[in-house]
């Protein structure tokens, strides 16, 4: 695994770099495997990146879009990560509907939805646990509590290592999430972290006491490349060493 950390003066410049990296990964994947598999981050940070992607003229028919996690709400709910990505990007490009692979949140229970998503992923990658899917690129955010995807500190989901998909929990609200082993099987993982409110947890994760820290984001050690893109509000002053 190679890891690197890049700090940018603003969210805008951070996302310009993120766009360049997504395109770099897309072009490499299509050149090598004639397809690009991408798992999206939810939340607010990536939305302008998705809006930039909507302006790109790309071989969308060779791109397959997944999500790293989803809130257990209807696809048209304001909190839906799928809704955000479709409105910002996917509804504006000529990507086949069959190439978009959202979590199905219409099931009666989160567990049923997680199982159904795992079955879909198994069929797409033609394998199942204890083998793992290999996403070309996974986009991740980080909360100010050090969670990523829907792997929240102190929850069972963080420990799940025998399934591809599990049920997360944020303050009692169910979430659907890819598991740590799946995220770590990616060829590339790209963290997009911006804002003053992320600085404290970043200092704990990357500071002198990091060995005693235990945040879910620290479990993300992909076999491929790991790149952290930070804006100055979140990342200035951190002692970050690439490897």
Residues that bind ligand 6PG in the complex, under the rule CB under 6 A: 41-45, 68-69, 81, 141-143, 147-150
Residues whose CB is less than 8 angstroms from the CB of residue 139 and which lie 6 or more positions away in sequence, other chains included: 18, 22, 38, 39, 40, 41, 46, 49, 68, 190, 192
110 vs 141 by CB, closer to ligand 6PG = 141
Q: State in angstroms the smallest separation of the CB of 58 from ligand 6PG.
A: 23
29 vs 201 by CB, closer to ligand 6PG = 201
30 vs 73 by CB, closer to ligand 6PG = 73
- 3-class DSSP state of 71: strand
Residue sitting closest to ligand 6PG (CB): 141
Q: State in angstroms the smallest separation of the CB of 11 from ligand 6PG.
A: 10
Decide: residue 109, CB within 10 A, 0-12 exposed, 13-18 middle, 19+ buried: exposed
Q: State in angstroms the smallest separation of the CB of 145 from ligand 6PG.
A: 9
Phi, psi of 90 (to 5 degrees): -65, -30
133 vs 141 by CB, closer to ligand 6PG = 141
Q: Kindly state the tokens that stand for 5.
A: 């950390």
Q: State in angstroms the smallest separation of the CB of 206 from ligand 6PG.
A: 17
Cis peptide bond N-terminal to 236, omega within 30: no
């Amino acid at each position: 695994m190679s890891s690197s950390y890049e700090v940018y003066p603003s969210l805008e410049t951070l996302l310009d770099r993120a766009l360049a990296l997504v395109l770099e990964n897309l072009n490499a994947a299509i050149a090598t495997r004639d397809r690009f598999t991408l798992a999206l981050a939810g939340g607010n940070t990536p939305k302008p990146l998705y809006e930039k992607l909507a302006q790109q003229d790309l071989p969308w028919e060779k791109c397959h879009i997944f999500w790293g996690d989803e809130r257990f709400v209807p696809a048209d709910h304001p909190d839906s990560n799928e809704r955000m990505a479709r409105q910002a990007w996917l509804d504006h490009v000529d990507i086949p509907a069959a190439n978009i692979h959202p979590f199905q949140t219409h099931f009666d229970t989160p567990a049923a939805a997680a199982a159904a998503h795992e079955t879909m992923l198994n069929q797409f990658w033609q394998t199942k646990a204890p083998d793992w899917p290999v996403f070309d690129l996974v986009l991740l955010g980080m909360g100010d509590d050090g969670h990523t995807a829907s792997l929240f500190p102190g929850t069972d989901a963080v420990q799940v290592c025998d399934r591809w998909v599990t049920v997360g929990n944020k303050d009692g609200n169910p979430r659907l999430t890819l598991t740590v082993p799946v995220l770590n099987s990616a060829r590339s993982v790209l963290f997009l972290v911006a804002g003053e409110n992320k600085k404290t947890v970043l200092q704990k994760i990357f500071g002198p006491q990091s060995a005693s820290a235990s945040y879910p984001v620290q479990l993300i050690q992909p076999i491929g490349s790991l790149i952290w893109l930070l804006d100055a509000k979140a990342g200035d002053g951190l002692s970050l060493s690439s490897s």
